[in-house]
């Protein structure tokens, strides 16, 4: 494949070519007969199109499959060297930029922390600098750029609506970057990108309907229905973190009281722990910490495993609040799967049993009986994979 002919996929004609190429990319190695079954196209149509894709070197014949009685099928796979893409992940405190091939193998990475003084222009300029450097290093054509942002975003318009830690609102990232590079740019929220990564490459790859719940400093979610993100009429679907769990609960960052996020996020459980110490409850962490206000979630998890009474009590509350919120998710969406990601996965052993027990108590049997709850194993890798898959689907 070192002598790849630079034939652009843009020369492909019609939806069937795009459909087949995406099936090969996502399901390969795969036989022509299986492609026909998945796409509902006739075998002659599949053969004609795959022959053209082979000639363009966008796919290649990977290996012989197992025979089911006749001639063994030839399995097709997408050519990872067909083109490259770039993914830029702008989190609350760091910029990561990746150069990947079509199989989402990372070929290069650039990373830098965002200083406290980093404003909108600094972040955008550094993102452009990273893109330019990766384009210079790329040995293939760059066909698309994905930008993942922290906080709500209008994906269709490519606008970052609000990034509180960066202090910006309504930043038209898509138009800014497309104007400079004249390459298609696709913008997505980090939680949705992570959900897509879980759906295509992680725990959700064998289901049609899934809700992803990221529990970290905040609490975000994304909904996948029949294989597609459900966005809502204003691209705002999935804000389960701001559904009410306890109307007498603590004030949330949104201004309401008792939101799921205000009770079940890692920030919430840490604040609950610190408040209890200041009110006189004992934990050995109070003796060990130089500054009580700097106690981190991981400190509480460790203390709980060591048998610290206050830490165990706080984790028990966390499990119950998560269980209540997840029960609401099952009662509303009736998904096949709820995937939990984010920092809380570190505490799985401390919360899973009580959380599931609470879900069983508070959800309807018809809504949860056939469902399942799992913890993410991909972690942050899901964000890159989801973002890259989004770009690849769009450009193909």
Assigned domain for 106 exists: yes
Assigned domain for 222 exists: yes
Domain check: are 107 and 174 in the same one? yes
Task: Write the pLDDT tens digit of every residue in 317-357.
Answer: 999 999 999 999 999 999 999 999 999 999 999 999 999 99
pLDDT of the residue at 254: 86
User: Could you tell me the pLDDT band of residue 7, with boundaries at 50, 70 and 90?
Assistant: very low
Task: Write the pLDDT tens digit of every residue in 156-183.
Answer: 899 998 876 677 889 999 999 999 999 9
Locus of tokens 């309907």: 209
Among the candidates 61, 78, 95, a domain finishes at: 78
Give the DSSP letter string of 92-155.
SSEEEEEEE-TT--EEEEEEEEPPTT--HHHHHHHHHHHHHHHHHH-SS-EEEEEEEESS-EET
Domain check: are 247 and 146 in the same one? no
Assigned domain for 125 exists: yes
pLDDT of the residue at 363: 96
Sheet arrangement for strand 159-163: 153-154, 159-163, 168-171
Q: What is the C-alpha to C-alpha distance for residues 197 and 191, in angstroms, rounded to an integer?
A: 10
pLDDT of the residue at 13: 53
Q: What is the span of the domain harbouring residue 44?
A: 15-78
Task: Write the pLDDT tens digit of every residue in 137-155.
Answer: 998 899 999 999 988 889 8
Domain check: are 121 and 254 in the same one? no
Q: Is 373 exposed, middle or buried (0-12, 13-18, 19+ CB in 10 A)?
A: buried
pLDDT of the residue at 4: 40
Domain check: are 290 and 209 in the same one? yes
Sheet arrangement for strand 142-149: 106-113, 94-100, 84-90, 142-149, 185-189
pLDDT of the residue at 63: 84
Locus of tokens 């998890």: 301
Of 264, 232, 278, 252, nearest in space to 355 by CA? 264
Domain check: are 43 and 90 in the same one? no
Q: Provide the number of structural domains found in the chain.
A: 3
Task: Write the pLDDT tens digit of every residue in 254-310.
Answer: 889 999 999 999 999 999 999 999 999 999 998 887 888 899 999 999 999 999 999
Domain check: are 226 and 346 in the same one? yes
Q: What is the C-alpha to C-alpha distance for residues 324 and 246, in angstroms, rounded to an integer?
A: 10
pLDDT of the residue at 14: 67
Cβ pair 373, 326 in contact under 8 A: yes
């Amino acid at each position: 494949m070192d002598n790849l002919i630079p034939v652009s996929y843009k020369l492909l004609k019609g939806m069937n070519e795009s459909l087949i190429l995406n099936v090969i990319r996502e399901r390969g190695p795969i036989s022509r007969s299986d492609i026909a079954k998945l796409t509902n196209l006739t075998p002659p149509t599949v053969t004609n199109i795959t022959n053209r894709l082979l000639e363009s070197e966008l796919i290649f014949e990977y290996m012989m499959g197992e025979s089911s009685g006749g001639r063994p099928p030839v399995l097709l796979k997408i050519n990872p060297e067909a083109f490259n893409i770039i993914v830029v992940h702008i989190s609350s405190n760091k910029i990561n930029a990746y150069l990947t091939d079509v199989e989402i193998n990372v070929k290069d990475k650039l990373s830098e922390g965002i200083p406290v003084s980093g404003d909108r222009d600094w972040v955008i300029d550094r993102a452009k600098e990273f893109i330019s450097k990766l384009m210079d290093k790329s040995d293939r054509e760059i066909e698309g750029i994905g930008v993942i942002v922290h906080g709500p975003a209008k994906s269709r318009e490519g606008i970052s609506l609000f990034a509180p830690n960066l202090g910006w609102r309504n930043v038209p990232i898509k138009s800014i970057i497309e104007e400079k590079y004249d390459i298609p740019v696709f913008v997505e929220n980090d939680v949705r990108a992570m959900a897509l990564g879980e759906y295509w490459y992680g725990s959700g790859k064998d289901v049609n309907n899934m809700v992803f719940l990221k529990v970290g400093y905040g609490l975000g979610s994304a909904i996948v229905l029949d294989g597609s993100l459900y966005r809502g009429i204003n691209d705002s679907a999935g804000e389960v973190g701001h559904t009410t769990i306890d109307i007498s609960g603590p004030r949330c960052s949104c201004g309401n009281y008792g939101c799921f996020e205000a009770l079940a996020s890692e920030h919430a459980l840490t604040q609950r722990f610190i408040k209890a110490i200041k009110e006189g409850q004992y934990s050995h962490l109070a003796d060990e910490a130089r500054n009580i206000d700097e106690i981190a979630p991981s400190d509480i998890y460790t203390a709980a495993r060591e048998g610290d009474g206050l830490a165990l009590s706080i984790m028990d509350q966390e499990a119950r609040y998560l269980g209540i919120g997840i029960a609401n998710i099952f009662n509303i969406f009736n998904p096949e799967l709820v995937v939990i990601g984010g920092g809380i996965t570190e505490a799985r052993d401390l919360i899973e049993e009580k959380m599931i027990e609470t879900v069983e108590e508070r959800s309807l049997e018809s809504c949860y009986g056939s469902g399942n709850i799992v913890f993410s194993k991909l972690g942050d890798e899901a964000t890159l994979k989801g973002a890259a898959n989004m770009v690849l689907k769009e450009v193909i």
